Structures are given as C-alpha cells and as structure tokens.
Chains A and B, each alone.
Chain A
C-alpha cells in the first residue's frame, strides 16, 4: 500500500538524498531559489558598488533578468506542486487523514503555498532594482 518500498540498494547514501528525502527537500526548492536570487542580488550590487567591477546600471539590468528566471523556476515548482495537490480534481482542500495519498497531496499543497510566498519574496526583492538608481 505504500509506495516507498525499494529493493536493497548498493549505494544507500545516494538513495537517501534522492528518493526518501525527495518530498521534504522539495518543500525547500522554491524558497532556496528565492535565497539564491537574493544572495546574487546582494553580491552583485556589492561588487558593482563597493568593488566597482562593473557599472551598476548593467548589474540592475542583469539582475532583473535573473529575477524573471527565478520566477520561472519558482513558477515551475508551484505548477508541479499544484498538480501534486490535485485540488481541481478532488476538491479536497485539507488532508488530515492517514493514507499515503493524503500525505502526497498535503506535500503538494504545502509546496504550492511555499512557492507562492517565494514568488512574493522574489518580486519584493526586485522592487529596489526597478525603483532605485545608482549606488547611493
């Protein structure tokens, strides 16, 4: 009845990173994308403003492109999560029961919500790029 039943594998360590840990790690993918985007914005602007490696205008342009990319990645996560939640077919909004299917859909729902907040976070981060000019 459960899906996680594997024959014993030679390389169990890799198995833990992929299959068993899969679903919980998936929750963190969208916010990790936000985090990476955030760090790249911060680092790039520091390099442009403090170190003067490249002009800040070009950095802003480049980072806005990166924002679009990050939003696409998060959107993809969100879409996959929406399908996993499967609310449009089942109409079930919450999953308090103890079946494997409930767990599966719950993880989809949680991942979707986390993708939404990651989208908001990423859009927020991009506002200064749109609104502020120069390093001061």
Chain B
C-alpha cells in the first residue's frame, strides 16, 4: 500500500511504501553506517550518570526503581504480618497492646494492597511493556517518572506513620463511623496519602493504555498482541472505573474529617453505607486489577515452557475482558451482612459465581497449552505450578463465600482471611515471583540461582500452606478477624500456633529469595540473549545492556516473531527496520494505529529531568500538609505543583518540531507532529477524563443513594441552591465551552487573532460561571445536614475542574501569543477542547442536580 500525500502538504500524512517487502528488508546496511547509527542512538538514550542518574526517565530505570520500591514495601508489610502472627501465637498474649495491633493489621492490609500489589502491576508493566511491544520507551516517560516519585513519597509517608505510633488503625477499608470518629491523624494519613498514590496509579493506567494501543510495532494487529498487552489494556480500563469511586469517597470522607460535613453521620442525614459502597466498588475490581496482570505474566511464560504457541488466544482475551466486566458486579459480596434486601444479595451472589467462568477459562487454556506442548521444567514453571494449585484452592473457597448464607456464618472470621490469602498468593505473589525469575535476565542481563530459587519456592509454598490452611479451621471455629488476642479453651490455640510457625517459614523463603535477588552477580558470565528460547519480542534485547530498547523497530507478522521469523533478530540488530538512527539527537518511538498498527507518526519522547521530582514533591505537599490541618502550606504547595507541571508541559510537550516529517527508515516518511485523535496526548486526555467522569458519576451516585436510602432527602423545607445563580453558572460554562471550540476552529483556519479573542473571552465566561456557582451554594450550611454538604461538595468538585479548564484556556492563549500554538501545531487546543467536552457534561449534570432535580425529588 502506498500512503497518499495530500496536496498541498499542510498536515503531512505518512508517505512511502508500507508494509515493507522482504526485498526491502534484505537490503544490507553498510557496516560503518551501522556503527555510526549505534553511536548516535547510544548517545541519545543512555541514562545520565553519577548523581544525575536519579533524573533518568527511561522505562528501564523507572521500572526498576518502581518494582524495587514496591517490593521493599511488601517486605515491610510482611514484617508487620510477622508481628501480628507473633501476637496471636498463644492466647492472652501481652506482646503487643491492642492499639498497636490495630495499626499493624490496618497497615499490613493497606500496604500490601496500595503499596505493593497495584504499584507492582504498574512497575512491571512499565518495565516490560515497551520490550514486549518493540517500543523504545513508554509514550510519556516523564509521566511514569512523576508517578514513581509520587508513589515513593506517598508510600514512605503512609508506611512511615507506623514508626511514630500514628498509623491508621480502623482496618484497611476505613469504615465509618470508627474511622471518621478516630482521634489522631491516622485516618487522614490513610485518606490523603493513599489518594495521592491513587492519582499516581491513574497516571500509570493512562500511560499503559496509550502504550498498549498506540505504541505497538508496525504490523502488530490486535490479534497478534502479546497476551500481556491485552491484560494491560483491560486492567488499565478497570483502574479507570474502579479507582475514581474511591477517590470520590476519599474526597467526601476527608471533608467530613476536616470540616465536619456529615456525609457518613446518620444523626445529620448521612449514611456510613455510602462509604462501604464506594469503597467496595473500588475494592472488588481491585482484586482483579491485582490478579489479571499477574496471570498475564503466566500467559507469557506458558508458551515458552510448552515450546508452542498459546492455545485459545481468543479465549484468553474473552477471559480478560469478561473478568474485567463481571468483577464490577461483585462488590456487595463484601457487604452481605449489612441488611440489604435478599434479592439484591442474590444479584451479587449470581455475578460472583459467574465470574468463576472466565477466570477458569484462562487456567484451562494454560493447561491445554502445557498438555499439547513439550514441557521444559524451568524454574519459573515451578512457581506457576504452585500458583495454580494455591489459586485454585482460593477460588474454591471463593465459590463458597459467594453464597450469601454461607458467608453469613463465616463473615469476619479467619475463614475469610484464609480465602483472601490463598487468592492473593496464588493469583499474585507466586505468578509475580515466577515473572521475576523469568524476566530477570531481560531486566538485569543476569541470571538468578536455580538452587536458591527451588529453596525459596519450597519454603514459601509449604510455609504458606502451614500458615493459611489451618486458618480455614480457625475461622470455622469462630475466631473473628482483627482481635488482638483471644481466650483459652475455644480450640483456637493449636491452629494459631501452627499458623505462626508457618508464617516464619514463609519469611525464611522470602529471605532466601531476597538474598538471591540482591547478592552480587558481577562475576557471573554473560548470559545468553534468549535464555528460555522464547518467541516474543522482548527477547531481542541487547546483551550487554543497551538503553535504546530496540536497535530498530521491526515489522511484525506473527504472535511469536522470534520463532516464526529466523531473520528477525539479525535484521533488528543491523538496523534494517524502522527508526534505526537518531540523526536529530532526539529520543523517538513509533506511534501506530489502534487496530492494525499502521505507522502514524514518530513520537518524540522526553529526556531526563528534575521537574518530575519537583512536581511530585509539591503535589505530595498538597496532600500531606492537610493531614496535619496545615492548609496554608498545602495551598502554597499545590500552587507550586500546578506551576511546575505547567512549566513542564510548556517547555517539553507538543513543541513545534524542527521539520514536519522525517525519514523513519525503509522509505517511509512520517509526520513528527500530530494533533487531535491520532496523537498520544489526545488519547491520554480522553482516558484521563474517562476516569475523572467516573469519579464525578460516583458523587452523582451518592446523591441518588441518599435519596433512595432515606425517607426524607432532600429534607422537606430544606434550603436549596439559588436557582438563578445555578442557571447563570450553567450558562457561563456553556458559553466558555463554545468559545473554546470556536478558538480551535478559528485557529485551524488561520484566524489567529479571532482565536485569541475567543481564548480571552472564554476564561472570563468560565470565571463568571465559577463565581455564580459559589454564590448558588454560599448561603447553605454544610455542617448542618448531608444535603447542603453534598451540594457544596458538587460545587467544590465543579469549581476545581472549572479552574483547571480556565488555566488550560489561558495556557492555549499564551501558546498562541508566544508561537507554541499555531494553526499548524494545535495539539494543545485539541486536548483542551476535549477536556471541555467532558467538563461541560459534568458541569451541566451538577447544575441540573443543584437546580431543578433537587427541587423535584
């Protein structure tokens, strides 16, 4: 196919032959040219050295820090678990006081979930995905780095609180009223610290979805994607729908903690059940957000072990997508005992049973592949075998627990603790460790020890079962969770003591594993390039390590290119594919189309910087200062964060390129600048706003939840938001939205002055809308009742977004004035108008609720 070139070439299209013919690929590249290309690529991609190393943004570096940090937090949370087990080893134990114990189990759960399981997915994906897709890097390397530094700051803050006896202590799900009434900063640390980390998670999700959709190598159609990318896509989508409800919940919760707005206080119309709903709408999908990427690692290893392509590729895609959806219909199975109608429980019980089917399908596809293949029992496979055994047991108790009557009996007992550890160890810990053994040569260009690996496996596997198998019995004997001690004579002594012993065996296993991971390996001989004889693209990596990711980005025609195309490796290495050079001295990767991965553009990706650290530190301040009710420093810190991020965007994103197109290799000329839906920035905005819309929808859900659950909401005779001001606000936002769109059209047609005029009037209309909205709710007293508090919450939410929209308009105005934004280079304006589409919808919904709807209900 030859791409057509429109005349005149104002907005260049891809131009040249595609796909490449075998003849083109066979044309040799002269040796001296290869050497020159290698030198240039190396100069561009090498991470900085010395102390500047920490300013690196390469996915390989950030991914390593990310995963090591998450692993470190996991070890800390594991130590907390050992303390818990020590306290419970014998009845009437006085090792730890009750309050300490509460902090320990709260932090153990919170850290394992928020600081290990979810970040580990992001870390591993950032580390692996570009390799699997033959991309040079992620599309937004600085965003990954920003996410990492946010995670590090937030994680240290949350986990560090335990050293000051100030850790949260109301359980990892922070149920009100216990958590709202709790004295001390514990609950605030949980709410603000983890919200901060959730923001980083959403950033990673955006990055990973765009990466999986748009940074695939040419020719890698959706039916050829490595299964890992399918899972990443599904999990990224799940994060966008699962995390925002929790963020909305955190928002309401923190307003109650800080300003006494009674969202969860029944004496003033609130309802603690709303928190439970919002938490578990997040919490249950989260289990699958943890499980799916780990099982995705298994899906990458199984074909290598079986030495054949995966069986049931479409079935595994079904499994990922199906699980992703069904997992959103399970949340109430954590709330079976809260007195909901039996019919409602029935729906969730049914969905909880249905999700077993897609979950099981992928396991059977793996087994079928193993049966049909010729198995080579490599060490990662041992861990996978353990994972399958343990996960299946956890799944079976899951089926029991999904039945409401059974759950009534064992709710809040150690049976549930046993179940969840079986699913999480089998579904996450074992597959991830399998992945570490498997991908270690790819990540570090060294090998882990097989002998130590076997020791670690058998210690952890037996220790795990010694710890958690008896817990089923402990639970059936009636021992409740979260008690710091228990009396003698209930039959709980023996199983508890056995569990404690087992926990230390697990710890010994982890000690062996950690030693293997960190022991010096400098004297190890150079590893083979493809030590497991795998078929996927990541094993084209360079040994010894090169920072460029791929020497040249190949054209792909099968699922296992290394098995199917014997010439591929040599062609990649000699730079016969795309982007074999960096003549402009810029970091670049290819952007391709979503379905068929046809080349669209050459994306310039970003270079090392300290801006991400600054932005993360200031953002951290904005979240951490309010924990101690230091609102002025928080506002200053937040303002500095916005300023830093604006400078970051201004100085390094969507800058007009030095030339409109460039030679991407193999005769293909690709644009270097694309605006609108084809660009990665536009996709990122779309995905971010989808998550943001979900958070807003959760607030709307809150409104109707109160209306459903309470006989009198809005209370009769309650003061409503002033209708005139609400209408004025809606009008202001609509005018501003129209002006933003007009600016985009005018600018594109070359009428820059008119566009600037629209961008001057737009912010004025936005500001007018914001002022009107504030006036609409100003007379209401948010501490008196949940109804005015909720109206205020809507006003704050919309105002904050309106302020962001206003900054964006001014940013575009500045861009137009200073030559960053021109009729040709208008990506910023496209992205901003997309933001405004979403903002207008949420603003109008909020105005409708505040105005007419509240009066009609």
Residues of chain A touching chain B, judged by Cβ–Cβ distance below 8 Å, are 1-2, 4-5, 8, 12-13, 15-16, 20-21, 23-24, 27-28, 31-32, 34-35, 38, 41-42, 45-47, 49-51, 56, 60, 94-98, 100, 102-103, 106-107, 109-110, 113-114, 116-118, 120-121, 124-125, 127-129, 131-132, 134-136
Q: How far is it, in angstroms, between the C-alpha of A109 and the C-alpha of B315 when the chains are bound?
A: 9
Partner of B223, one of A4, A96, A129, A135: A96
User: Is the Cβ of A35 less than 8 Å from the Cβ of B343?
Assistant: no
Known pairs A35-B325, A46-B341, A121-B351; A98 contacts B346 (CB<8 A): no
The answer to whether B223 and A103 touch across the interface, beta carbons within 8 angstroms, is yes
* Of B315, B329, B342, the contact of A121 (CB 8 Å cutoff): B329
Q: Which of B109-126 contact A (CB under 8 A)?
A: none
Q: Give 16 new A-B contacts, CB below 8 A, not counting A41-B347, A98-B558, A113-B322.
A: A13-B677, A31-B325, A45-B341, A45-B343, A45-B344, A50-B341, A95-B314, A96-B223, A96-B313, A100-B596, A106-B314, A110-B317, A117-B318, A118-B325, A125-B329, A128-B346
**B354 at the A interface (CB under 8 A):** yes
19 contacts between A and B (CB under 8 A): A1-B1, A4-B598, A24-B594, A42-B347, A45-B341, A45-B347, A50-B709, A96-B309, A103-B224, A107-B223, A110-B318, A113-B314, A117-B357, A121-B329, A121-B351, A125-B347, A127-B346, A129-B346, A135-B342
Which of A41, A96, A129 is close to B559, meaning CB atoms less than 8 Å apart?
A: A96
Closest to B709 in A: A50
CA distance A97 to B326 in the complex (A): 30
Question: What 5 A-B pairs come out closest when comparing CB atoms?
Answer: A128-B346, A98-B557, A106-B223, A113-B318, A16-B677
Q: How many angstroms between the C-alpha atoms of A103 and B322 in the bound complex?
A: 20
Instruction: Flag whether B73 is at the interface (Cβ < 8 A).
Output: no
In the complex, B155 has a CB within 8 A of chain A? no
- Taking a contact as CB atoms under 8 Å apart, the answer to whether B593 and A20 are in contact is yes
Interface members, chain B 313-337 (any A CB < 8 Å): 313-315, 317-318, 321-322, 325-326, 328-329
Known A38-B351, A45-B344, A94-B313: A114·B321 in contact at CB below 8 Å: yes
Closest residue on chain A to residue B748 by CB atoms: A10
Residue of A nearest to B704 (CB): A43
Q: Are A124 and B351 in contact (CB under 8 A)?
A: yes
- In the complex, are the beta carbons of A132 and B325 less than 8 A apart? no
What chain B residues lie within 8 Å of A4 (beta carbons)? Answer: 593, 595-596, 598
Min CB–CB distance B284 → chain A (angstroms): 13
Residues of B within 8 A of A31 (CB): 321-322, 325-326
CA–CA, A82 to B11, complex, Å? 40
A96's nearest neighbour on chain B, judged by CB, is B559
A100's nearest neighbour on chain B, judged by CB, is: B596
Distance (whole angstroms) from the CB of B151 to the closest CB of chain A: 29
Interchain CB contact under 8 A, B344 and A46: yes
A2 near B343 (CB under 8 angstroms)? no
Query: Is residue B678 within 8 Å, beta carbon to beta carbon, of the partner chain?
Result: yes
Which residues of B from 321 to 379 have beta carbons under 8 Å from A? Answer: 321-322, 325-326, 328-329, 341-347, 349-351, 353-354, 357-358
**Is B677 in contact with A124, judged by CB distance below 8 angstroms?**
no
Do residues B594 and A20 form an inter-chain contact, with CB atoms below 8 A?
yes
B344 touches A42 (CB 8 A): yes
Instruction: Let me know if A103 and B222 touch, CB within 8 A.
Output: yes
Residues of B within 8 A of A132 (CB): 342-343, 346
Q: Which of A21, A49, A103, A121 contacts B326 (CB 8 A)?
A: A121
Contacts of A32 in B (CB 8 A): 325
Given contacts A24-B222, A50-B341, A98-B221, contact A110 B314 (CB under 8 A): yes
Q: Interface residue count for B (Cβ, 8 Å)?
A: 52
Is A106 in contact with B222, judged by CB distance below 8 angstroms? yes
Q: Which residues of chain A have C-beta atoms less than 8 A from B347's C-beta? A: 38, 41-42, 45, 125, 128
* Minimum C-beta distance from A131 to chain B (A): 7
Residue of A nearest to B224 (CB): A98
Count of A-B contacts judged by CB separation below 8 Å: 164
B708 within 8 A of A: yes
Assembled-state Cα–Cα distance A38/B326 (Å): 10
Q: Give the docked Cα–Cα distance between A7 and B313 (Å).
A: 34
- The reply to whether A5 and B1 form a contact with Cβ atoms under 8 Å apart is yes
CB–CB A135/B341 < 8 A:
yes
Contacts of A12 in B (CB 8 A): 676-678
Complex Cα spacing A20 to B598, Å: 12
State the CA gap A34–B709 with chains docked (Å): 25
* Choice from A45, A97, A124 contacting B354 with Cβ under 8 Å: A124
- Chain B residues with Cβ below 8 Å from A8 are 6, 11, 13
Name the contact of B341 in the complex, choosing from A23, A49, A109, A116 (C-beta under 8 A): A49
Residues on the A chain within 8 Å of B313, using CB = 94, 96, 106
Is B620's CB within 8 Å of the partner chain A?
no
Q: B117 CB to closest chain A CB, in angstroms?
A: 24
Residue of B nearest to A109 (CB): B314
Q: By the criterion CB–CB under 8 Å, are B708 and A47 in contact?
A: yes
Q: Name the residue on A nearest B352 (C-beta).
A: A124
Residues of B within 8 A of A16 (CB): 677
Question: Nearest chain B CB to A9's CB is how many angstroms away?
Answer: 10
- Given the complex, which residues of A lie within 8 Å of B834, measured CB to CB? 13
Q: Which residue of B lies closest to A60 (CB)?
A: B343
Residue of B nearest to A56 (CB): B343
**Which residues of chain B are within 8 angstroms of A56 by Cβ–Cβ distance?**
343
Known contacts A24-B595, A35-B329; is-contact A97 B322 (Cβ 8 Å): no
A87 to B676, CA, bound (A): 38
* Chain A CB within 10 A, most for which of B224, B318, B593, B709: B318
**Complex CA distance for A17 and B834, rounded to whole angstroms:** 13
What are the interface flags for B579-617 relative to A under an 8 Å C-beta threshold, 1 for contact and 0 otherwise? 000000000000001111010000000000000000000
Residue interface mask B245-284, A partner, CB < 8 A = 1: 0000000000000000000000000000000000000000
B505 within 8 Å of A by Cβ?
Answer: no
Docked Cα-Cα span, A83 to B96, in Å, equals 65
Q: Mark B534-560, 1 if CB is under 8 A from A, else 0.
A: 000000000000000000000011110
Chain B: which residue is nearest A136 at the CB level? B342
In whole angstroms, what is the CA distance A23 to B221 when docked? Answer: 12
CB proximity of B268 to chain A, nearest CB, Å: 20
B130 within 8 A of A: no
Residues of B within 8 A of A107 (CB): 222-223
Task: Looking at the assembled complex, report how far the CB atom of A68 sits from the nearest CB atom of chain B, in whole angstroms.
Answer: 17
Q: 1/0 per residue B1-22: CB within 8 Å of A?
A: 1000010000101000000000
Question: What are the residues of chain A within 8 A of B186 when measuring CB–CB?
Answer: none
Cα-based distance from A102 to B223 in the complex (angstroms): 7
B219 in the interface (beta carbon within 8 A) = yes
A51 vs B222: C-alpha distance when bound (angstroms): 46
Pair A49/B223 contact, Cβ less than 8 Å = no
Query: Does A13 contact B676, Cβ atoms closer than 8 Å?
Result: yes
Q: Is the beta-carbon distance between B556 and A128 smaller than 8 angstroms?
A: no
Residues of B within 8 A of A45 (CB): 341, 343-344, 347
A51 to B626: give the CA distance in the assembly, Å: 38
The reply to whether B709 and A28 form a contact with Cβ atoms under 8 Å apart is no
Q: Whole-angstrom distance between the alpha carbons of A129 and B535 in the complex?
A: 49
**Which residues of the partner chain A approach B678 to less than 8 Å between Cβ atoms?**
12
Whether A120 pairs with B357 at a CB distance below 8 angstroms is yes
Verify A51–B325 contact, CB threshold 8 A: no
CB neighbours (8 Å) of A5 from chain B are 1
With A95-B223, A97-B558, A98-B556 known as contacts, the answer to whether A124 contacts B350 (CB < 8 A) is yes
Complex interface residues of chain B between 553 and 569 (CB less than 8 A to chain A) = 556-559
Instruction: Determine the residue in chain A with the shortest Cβ distance to B560.
Output: A96
Report the nearest B residue to A38, measured CB to CB: B329
Q: Which of B221, B322, B326 contacts A100 (CB 8 A)?
A: B221
**Could you tell me the distance between the alpha carbons of A27 and B322 in the complex, rounded to whole angstroms?**
10
Closest chain A residue, CB of each to CB of B348: A42
A125 and B314 form a contact (CB under 8 A): no
* Distance of A4 from chain B, by nearest CB (Å): 6
Q: Mark B160-186, 1 if CB is under 8 A from A, else 0.
A: 000000000000000000000000000
Closest residue to B222 on the A side, CB-wise?
Answer: A103
Please name all residues of chain A whose beta carbon is closer than 8 Å to the beta carbon of B598 when the two chains form the complex.
2, 4
Q: Which residue of chain B lies nearest to A124 when distances are taken between CB atoms in the complex?
A: B350
| A61, chain B: closest CB distance, angstroms | 13
